[in-house]
Amino acid sequence: MQVLCTQTLSNTFYASAHELGQEAMEVLLAARSECPEFLAKALVYARNFGLLKTMPVLGLAVLSGSRQAKEHFLAVFNQVIRTPDDLRTFVVLAKSGVIPGRNGLGGMTRDAVAAWLGNLSEYHAVKYGSAASREITLRDILRLAHPKPQNEALAERFGYLVKGKEGLRESAALNPQIRALEALKKATTEEETLNLIRQGKLPFEVVLPSVKATTPAIWSALLHNAPYFNLLRNLVAFTRHGVFQNEEEVKYAVTRLTDPVAVQRSKVLPFRFFQAWQQYCQTDNQDSRISNALRAALELSFVNLPSLGSRTVAIGTDTSGSMGSRVSEKSSTRFIDIAGIFTGALLRRAEGRVIPLPFDTRVHHDHGLSGRDEILTTCDKISHWCGGGTAVGAPVEHLLRQRISVDLFIGITDQEDWAYGNGYSCSGSFLDLWRSYRQQVNSQAKAYLLTIASYRDAVAPQGEEGVCFIYGWSDSVPKFIAQDLEGGPVQLQEIEQMRFGETGGNGPLSETATEDAQIEE
């Protein structure tokens, strides 16, 4: 389960790594041999509740290499393959020759793929039907699997994916969204274009390549068709194309952005809202109502941070001078911004159970941080310190001296330097202090050391009990911490008690663009 949900067996997590290690393959092959039923259930759990998409799909490909696991493979295929991108990844792996026992798309894999395609929605055909898709296209997969359509609409859908517009039949009622897209490519007036976008509820991704030129009215239509994350991601584009010169569109965007239900359903974490707010505030002709709406949405989004249960947490936030560096040349976000948003969101998510310990060469005891503050307020307070060296042991020593018992210590830094001794309010190294803390205060405490800049230096051996290293930064980091904490006997028992008929889902996610887009994003 650790391999499936976190892609690692060690106490190290690389937030941006996508390589599939030999170690992971060995674990999956052993599971296929020794406990194929558990592996099948675990794949469903990992895909729907875990951290990664690629690893569960790889596990499904491994499961397909065993004839003895056929029943289990077929039972969970639709719960692991949730989108056309998942399907493409699976087919590429099945044909790659790297999966022992599986070399190509045939037998039960072809049957499973064909059955999945039998539920392919019109929305999927529109969004994923491009012949320019990477590695393999839906057209290629249709030609490999030869699914038999169960109705005229699906038969036309398949014909369209294979032959383009020549595959469309006479009845205009079969796939109106596909017809709207094809008509859009030939539209000559703005009115005709707008009607087709609205009637077809065409997604952003297919409209822009299909129209000859855009106008503010066309961008306004895209605004109303946009799922939540698409709206958030393209606020600058909507502004640049004059959409928000219309009062009604400003009101619409503000209402959507600040809808608590929409924010929670989007599952977007505070860091994305911060980036959107930061980018929008740097845009010409910005509207203060939209920037304020982004601040409000950011504040609402703390509920999307994964829960750490009832655990008490101490967070050591590095405020040293090097934290003022930008994450990348293309971004205006600094390391200290990420640390500040993380700290503020955690204070809001687990109010009353978080002890903030901002530090550089010493802990800032007069920090004034509170779970009652807005997340951006906390971020601003933290960024004002930004100076000095890095003594990550300082917050641990504070906990040790005060005999403050916590379940978790999260240290977040860029890791320019891990110092102690002369000039630092820290009498020893992190490792020595942490060992003392576990011996004298809480033997079950666990530390997560998050290095945003992804240096490979470490302040403790990789095998050190109670210490987990996280290198790099992405939205998956909070999910990893929560997933790592919840692993173990309880998680295994939950998986073992699953029944194949109760795992949920049966093919493509839904027939609606809005629901699909939310899960895909």
- How many other β-carbons are positioned within 10 Å of the β-carbon of residue 248? 9
Helix (H, G, I), strand (E, B) or coil at 512: coil
Mean pLDDT over residues 503-512, rounded?
A: 47
Going by pLDDT thresholds of 50, 70 and 90, the confidence category of residue 514 is very low
User: pLDDT tens for residues 353-385?
Assistant: 999 999 999 999 989 999 999 999 999 999 999
Residue 234 pLDDT: 94
pLDDT at 416 over 70: no
Q: Enter the tokens of residue 103.
A: 């070399």
- Give dist(CA 521, CA 509) in Å, integer: 13
Question: Does residue 423 contact residue 361 with C-beta atoms inside 8 Å?
Answer: yes
List the 446-451 sheet strands across, edge first: 12-14, 467-471, 446-451, 408-413, 313-317, 354-356
What single string gives the DSSP state of each residue in 154-190? Answer: HHHHHHHHHHGGGG--S-TTS-HHHHHHHHHTT--SH
Going by pLDDT thresholds of 50, 70 and 90, the confidence category of residue 503 is very low
- Give dist(CA 277, CA 296) in Å, integer: 10
Question: Does residue 484 contact residue 308 with C-beta atoms inside 8 Å?
Answer: no
Question: Does residue 43 contact residue 22 with C-beta atoms inside 8 Å?
Answer: no
- Give dist(CA 106, CA 144) in Å, integer: 9
Helix (H, G, I), strand (E, B) or coil at 356: strand
Helix (H, G, I), strand (E, B) or coil at 417: coil
User: pLDDT tens for residues 420-473?
Assistant: 777 788 888 888 999 999 999 999 999 999 988 765 556 666 678 899 888 888
pLDDT at 199 over 70: yes
- pTM comes to 0.85
3-state secondary structure 369-416: CCCCCCHHHHHHHHHHHCCCCCCCHHHHHHHHHHCCCCCEEEEEECCC
- Give dist(CA 296, CA 9) in Å, integer: 39
List all residues 6 or more positions away from 361 whose beta carbon is below 8 Å from its beta carbon.
Answer: 320, 388, 389, 390, 391, 394, 419, 423, 424, 425, 426
Nearest to 256 by CA among 281, 232, 285: 232
Q: Which of 171-180, 349-358, 418-427 has the lowest mean pLDDT?
A: 418-427
- Percentage of the residues of the chain whose pLDDT score is greater than 70: 91
Question: Does residue 445 contact residue 466 with C-beta atoms inside 8 Å?
Answer: yes
- Give dist(CA 48, CA 437) in Å, integer: 37
Mean pLDDT over residues 179-198, rounded?
A: 95
User: pLDDT tens for residues 392-413?
Assistant: 899 999 999 999 999 999 999 9
Question: Does residue 79 contact residue 519 with C-beta atoms inside 8 Å?
Answer: no
User: pLDDT tens for residues 111-153?
Assistant: 999 999 999 999 999 988 876 667 799 999 999 999 999 999 9
Residue 17 pLDDT: 57
- Give dist(CA 158, CA 294) in Å, integer: 41
- Give dist(CA 363, CA 316) in Å, integer: 9
Which DSSP state fits 359?
B
From residue 449, alpha-carbon distances to 139, 175, 420, 460 in Å are: 45, 52, 17, 10
pLDDT at 102 over 70: yes
Residue 462 pLDDT: 67
